[in-house]
């Protein structure tokens, strides 16, 4: 059974640009969550999607947005990139909702220069 | 605000030493509790979880954790660590009220032979 797949693995962008990250959940999983991981801050919750609807949202500015498609694949978009957005972005999928076990992808390492 | 605290940021041990990593959370009501591990260069993976029942749960690789509801704690333990346990450990909590899986800032464990 294939795991959670995130693409691309690495990205370098310049300030002011926008970026789109992709996440393919485990087959049959309908919930996809996104996290930002930085040294010292741990994993901070960005948002969760279930059946194409955003069900939960963390405390991030509106520059961070996402969506989920009918096949449960999800994308995360960050507009007007700032240096502080440099981080590892992790996607997690679970069968139904966050009360069940979440399976994580390898992450996308975003560097903003 | 709901939060998860891991008080040990960096722990250094010799092989065969015992390990206990603290985790406290500030949620009320029903919660599910998790410990995840991130080995160098690898994705986050589940060590163990508590949903209900026996508050002492056993996970993979000899790890266990005890849920103490009165103390809002879910500490991770291992009687004898190995060099291969070198990793970062994250405690995570999800409240049935919020459905958000919230992580602590992580504890970096280094085990020396």
How far A103 CA lies from chain B's nearest CA (Å)? Answer: 7
- pLDDT tens per residue, range A88-106: 999 999 987 656 788 999 9
How far B97 CA lies from chain A's nearest CA (Å)? Answer: 10
Beta strands in chain A (DSSP E): 5-7, 10-13, 19-24, 31-38, 42-50, 53-57, 64-68, 74-78, 87-94, 103-104, 108-112
Q: Is residue B41 pLDDT above 60, yes or no? A: yes
- pLDDT tens per residue, range B50-78: 998 999 999 999 999 999 999 999 999 99
As to burial, measured by CB atoms within 10 angstroms (0-12 exposed, 13-18 middle, 19+ buried), residue A2 is: exposed
Contact between chains at B99 and A105 (C-beta distance less than 8 A) = no
Average pLDDT over residues B31-38: 94
As to burial, measured by CB atoms within 10 angstroms (0-12 exposed, 13-18 middle, 19+ buried), residue A110 is: buried
Q: What is the Cα A38 distance to its own chain's centre?
A: 14
- pLDDT tens per residue, range A12-60: 999 999 999 999 999 999 999 999 999 878 899 999 999 999 988 999 9
> Smallest Cβ distance to B46: which of A35, A48, A101?
A101
Residue A99: list chain B partners with CB under 8 A: 32, 51, 94, 96, 99
Phi, psi of A16 (to 5 degrees): 90, -20
């Amino acid at each position: 059974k294939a795991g959670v797949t995130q693409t691309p693995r690495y990205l370098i962008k310049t300030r002011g640009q926008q970026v789109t990250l992709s996440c393919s959940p485990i087959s049959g999983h309908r919930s996809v969550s996104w996290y930002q991981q930085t040294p010292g801050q741990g994993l901070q919750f960005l948002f969760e999607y279930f059946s194409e609807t955003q069900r939960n949202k963390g405390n991030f500015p509106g520059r961070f947005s996402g969506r989920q498609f009918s096949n449960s694949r999800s994308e995360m978009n960050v507009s007007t990139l700032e240096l502080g957005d440099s981080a590892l972005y992790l996607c997690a999928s679970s069968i139904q909702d966050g009360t069940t076990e979440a399976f994580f992808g390898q992450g996308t390492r975003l560097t903003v220069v | 605000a709901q939060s998860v605290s891991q008080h040990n940021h960096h722990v250094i041990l010799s092989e065969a030493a015992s390990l206990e990593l603290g985790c406290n959370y500030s949620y009320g009501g029903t919660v599910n509790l998790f410990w995840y591990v991130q080995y160098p260069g690898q994705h986050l993976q589940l060590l163990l979880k508590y949903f209900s029942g026996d508050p002492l749960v056993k996970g993979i690789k000899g790890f266990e954790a005890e849920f103490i509801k009165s103390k809002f704690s879910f500490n991770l333990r291992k009687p004898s660590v190995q060099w291969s346990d070198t990793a970062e450990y994250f405690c995570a909590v999800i409240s049935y009220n919020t459905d958000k899986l919230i992580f602590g800032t992580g504890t970096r464990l280094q085990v020396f032979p």
